[in-house]
Amino acid sequence: MTATSRTNWSGNIDFAASALETPGSVAELQACVSRHDAVRALGTAHCFNGIAATRGVQIQVTGLDSRIDIDSTSHTAWVPAAMKYGELAKALQPYGFAVRNIASLGHISVAGAVITGTHGSGDANGTLSSTVRALELVTAAGDLVVIDESSPDFCGSVVSLGMLGVVTRVRISIVPAFDIAQTVIDDVPHAQVTENFDAIFSSAYSVSFFTTWGPENLGQIWVKHLADHSWRHEEWMGGTPATIKCHPLPGHDPIHCTEQLGVVGPSYERLPHFKLEFTPSSGDELQTEYLVPRTEAVQLLQGLLEFSPRIHELLHVSEIRTMAADDLWLSGASGRDTVGIHFTWKKVPEVFPLLPVIDEYFAPAGGRPHWGKLFDATALPDRYSGFGNFVDLVERYDPSGKFSNDWWRGVLGGG
């Protein structure tokens, strides 16, 4: 048992767990899960809500075997649940492999990422969860089980919100290593983005649009393009390629951002916006994100312009990304090509009264809040066709509710 910080990364959640345990082997983990009545696994604590909290014991699996087991024939690898996603990406490179995509930073754990439906961007890229082929986990009864694609439970077991057990290893699809170059286009008018949405987001491997929804109605497009596709424009979508390195948050020093200005390098050093070597301190920010059907995205973005006076003052920045549909029951991209409309808020109390307003705006269009970020939503279960099946799965794997917590009860109750 170790003493450690009892808050999440942002510092807005006090975990209130009675202890944090870090078993040194799978057998110890099984004993630990069996011994306690209330348990919650903890990754790198980057979620902004109480999803990882428990009144019982938190468990980190950082003490388990840290080896990566690559199968170069099937292009898959078993990877440790606690490994940071960015470290995994870097470790695959010497073997000639890469992960398909990475979130905005690589500091989050593999298990924490896939369990909450974490994503990067790219029309042809699914969420990080969609690359999972199997999971190994310790269930509430202390059994070690593997759930793979042949199991009828599989589609409910990946974006599991930590409700089915403590994940020890994950088998993911990997791809041949590839290079990326990153270019930032500055001062792009909002109208260009809504008028040319498909052209912009299909223009490269991964594309993000950043804006503060300020009165100037301008933003930045971050284009991560494959190195063998030339991507050169003097002027594009009303903006101009930046000639100096940029940070997505206006006025911030870009020193910790990944390489830009079209310089080619390994994908693991370009797909995230932030360098892995940079250790982010406790963040002075909160985050909310809605995953919306791609078919609704342009209209929703146009409507947000009317919101902008209300949200601009509270925002550090907002990011728009795309992702391909998957078939995971609780994924934000389940059953539809999806656009992520994300808000990085200032860490101020005024954000909280806005959360139900934001939900009321996105819900009628099928918006689903990111599981790892802040939201205040009603009738959440209705937004997923597989939600009822997931509840059945949870009852089967965890009949006593060992992994349940206040956050989950809020989701079931609508809040």
Ligand X SMILES: Cc1cc2nc3c(=O)[nH]c(=O)nc-3n(C[C@H](O)[C@H](O)[C@H](O)COP(=O)(O)OP(=O)(O)OC[C@H]3O[C@@H](n4cnc5c(N)ncnc54)[C@H](O)[C@@H]3O)c2cc1C
Shortest distance (Å) from residue 109 CB to ligand X: 3
Choose one: 161-169, 206-214, 234-242, 263-271; the region binding ligand X (CB under 6 A). Answer: 161-169
d(CA 305, CA 400): 47
Q: Which residues in 83-122 contact ligand X (CB under 6 A)?
A: 103-105, 108-109, 111-113, 115-116, 118-119
Which amino acid does the sequence have at 150? S
Which amino acid does the sequence have at 121? S
Ramachandran area for residue 236 (φ above 0: left; ψ -120 to 50: alpha; else beta): beta
| C-beta of 63 vs 356, nearer to ligand X | 63
User: Which pair of tokens denotes residue 277?
Assistant: 């070597």
Q: Is the dihedral of CA 109, 112, 114, 120 positive or negative?
A: negative
Choose one: 19-27, 39-47, 239-247, 301-309; the region binding ligand X (CB under 6 A). Answer: 39-47
Q: Which residue has the tokens 């990997």?
A: 174
Choose one: 160-168, 208-216, 227-235, 348-356; the region binding ligand X (CB under 6 A). Answer: 160-168
Choose among 33, 115, 60, 45: nearest CA to 390: 115
Find how far residue 191's CA is from the centre of its chain. 27
Q: Which residues in 47-86 contact ligand X (CB under 6 A)?
A: 47, 51-52, 61, 81
| C-beta of 44 vs 183, nearer to ligand X | 44
Question: Does the protein bind ligand X through residue 328 (CB under 6 A)?
Answer: no
| C-beta of 40 vs 100, nearer to ligand X | 40
Choose one: 24-32, 151-159, 162-170, 390-398; the region binding ligand X (CB under 6 A). Answer: 162-170
| 323: phi then psi, degrees, rounded to nearest 5 | -155, 155
Give the pairing of strands 166-173 and 76-80: antiparallel
Extract the runs of DSSP E, i.e. beta strands, from 294-335. 315-323
Q: Which of 283, 366, 381, 410 binds ligand X (CB under 6 A)?
A: 283
User: Which pair of tokens denotes residue 314?
Assistant: 């509270």
Shortest distance (Å) from residue 96 CB to ligand X: 26
Binding residues for ligand X (CB under 6 A) = 9, 40-47, 51-52, 61, 81, 103-105, 108-109, 111-113, 115-116, 118-119, 161-162, 166-167, 283, 370, 372
